[in-house]
Structure formats: structure tokens, C-alpha cells
Amino acid sequence: MGRQQRQPVRPRRERSGIGILSSPGFAEVQSRSGGRNLFQIYVSGDDRWLDSLVERVSDANAAGLCVTVDSAVEARRDRLLERSFDWRVSSGGATPPNLEGLGRERSHQAGFTWKALERLRARTELPLVVKGIVTADDARRAVDVGVQAVYISNHGGRGLDHGLSTIEVLQEVVDAVGDRAQVVLDSGVRHGTDVCKAPALGARAVLIGRLQLWGLAAGGAEGVAQVLRILRAEIENTMALMGARTLAELTPASVRKTIPV
């Protein structure tokens, strides 16, 4: 028998997420991908700014809005300070395509409140995701506002030092949210074993950050596909060794807390 050729993993277009600072812009990605993508927002302007941005991505047929709420200020990152690195200088100070004609002022991120989230919820009928939740109380409050998904994230540990890991808070957030919204998680995901822990503790989906960037840097689109192939193989191997035929068979009983070595 000939060797079966492995088919490339192709991300499901309708489940992609496009960041506000990404290039090319959201509208161009939408038109090229033929899919409906989530648009991720750092609120960097006043109410009029946000209204204009929401209208822009709504016209581009966004599948929903993902609002990041845990970045009131820029994190102090010692490695960047030691290297005298400033991303704003490295990017040449160019305006991201998504913000053409709108501008960006970081001070508004610190002023984004629960009341502002309520206003955004009333402003649009698009599904709303809140990213950066790490406590049960905040998750419960976000669901009370009317979000469709709570996104547990600590910015990959690049924000607040000594903060909790996302996997530590996952189950309490899931318990707080119940069936009123979906719970998704990122940060600290490096292997298929990390992915399997999340649905076991109640997450609906796991998102990856660094891994896709590493794959993209190493091999472009094929590099990202290879990352997904590796993760899939690791997930299947983990489930097989745990005797789980489906993700539903991974339960909280599958996970035990241990003291880090």
C-alpha cells in the first residue's frame, strides 16, 4: 500500500479572530477569506470613536466583537526595557489599517468601565465576547451585561506579574457563568495536554497565541498549519492514553492540582 498523504489542516474561516492592530485590515481579510471573523478591540477612543469602529466592522460582516478589558495601561516588561525596545517605534508609527481615520489614544482604555460595556451591548446586535476575565465575580457581571462568551486570558503572562494562571481560575468561572454564556481560554497553552485540561474543566474552546506566531515566523501559512497538526496529534495521543474517546469524556475528575516543581 502506498503511503497516505497527510492533508493540510485548514483553519475554519468562520472561527478566526482579527485584532484591531492587525495588517491587512479587517475588511480586506473578510473579503479574501470569504469567512465571518470576530473583531478584537482595544477601546482606544471615546464613544463616537467606538461607534464608528463598530459600524465599520459591522459593514464588513463581522461575526462578533471581542473586547479586551484587562489592558488599562501598558505592562512594564523588563526584557523590553533592558533592550530599549518600543513597538511603536519599530512599527514606524504607522496607523494600523483598521484605525485609518479614527486614530488611537491609549488613555481611553483605562476609562472603559462596566457602564461603557453596557452601552456597547446596547449599541450593537453583534455577539459580544469579553476578553481578559480572571475572576468569577467579573465573569458573572459580564454575563449580566449580556455577553455571549467570557474569554479567560492573562495576556499570556505578559501583563501583571504574579497573577493567577488561566487554568487555575477556569472552573470557578465556568461555575459562575453556568449555561448563560460560553467560556473560552488562552494563555499558557503550549501542548496538546494543555488543550485537554480546558474542556475537562468546562471550557468550550481553547485559543492559541504564541504558538501560531511562532509557526508563522518559522514557516508562514504552512508553519501555522504544522502547529495545528502537532497540537492535533498531541491531543489525540493524550485522549487515547486517558481512555477518552470524545472531549465530553474529559471531566474535572481527569485533572488534579499539583505543586509546581
What residues form DSSP beta bridges with 133? 152
User: What sign for the dihedral angle of Cα 241, 244, 248, 249?
Assistant: negative
* Torsion of Cα atoms, 28 then 30 then 32 then 33, to 10°: 150
Q: What distance lies between CA 219 and its chain's CA centroid? A: 22
Exactly one of 108, 155, 162, 191 is catalytic; which is it? 155
Per-position b or e across 138-149, b if 16+ CB within 10 A of its CB: bbbbbbebebeb
Annotation says 155 is catalytic = yes
For the residues of 46-60, what is the DSSP string, one character each? -HHHHHHHHHHHHHT
Q: Which residues contact 138 (CB under 8 A, 6 or more apart)?
A: none
The amino acid sitting at 11 is P
Catalytic residues: 155
